[in-house]
Each structure stands twice: as C-alpha cells, then as structure tokens.
Amino acid sequence: MGSFSIWHWLVVLVIVVLVFGTKRLKNVGKDLGEAVKGFKQGVHDGDKDGPDARLPHERNENVESPRQESSTPPRDETRR
C-alpha cells in the first residue's frame, strides 16, 4: 500500500477522459484558470484600497457601533 505508480495514474487518466470527454475537461480547466485569475486580481485590487475606503468600524476609530434592534416589535400598551 505505497504510492501509486505511473501506470496507476495513466489508467485513472484514461478512465477520466473516457467518462468526461476531452471537451468537458478542457472547459473545466478553462473555468478553473479563469477563477484563479479572478481571485488573484481581486486580491491585488484589494491591496490598492487605502484606509479611507474602509468602513468607520474597520478603521479602528472610536465610533459607536449601530444599535442592535431586537427582532420582536415593541409592545403596544394602549391595547387591552
């Protein structure tokens, strides 16, 4: 039970190509590449944002946090 040899990987590759086909595998590879490219671009663009682009509570300023409202509506005490 060691690592797989090159023959095991070739058999797995042939089975995957037979099951999915080359066109679908090409599309999956293209989509994966575009996703990685978009992720890298998003990370790079995120670095350009200065401290002014952040929200006040993210700038470590002494800003009061918004008051949390309860999920229950206030009781109407006039009705009985």
- What percentage of the chain carries pLDDT values higher than 70? 54
pLDDT tens per residue across span 37-53: 999 998 888 766 555 55
Q: Give the separation between CA 37 and CA 57, rounded to whole angstroms.
A: 31
Task: Give pLDDT, residue 53.
Answer: 58
Q: Give the separation between CA 28 and CA 32, rounded to whole angstroms.
A: 6
Joined together, the tokens standing for residue 59 give 């700038």
Sign of the Cα torsion 73, 74, 75, 79 reads negative
pLDDT tens per residue across span 56-69: 555 555 555 556 55
Section 29-33 average pLDDT: 93
Section 26-47 average pLDDT: 89
Q: Give the separation between CA 58 and CA 52, rounded to whole angstroms.
A: 10
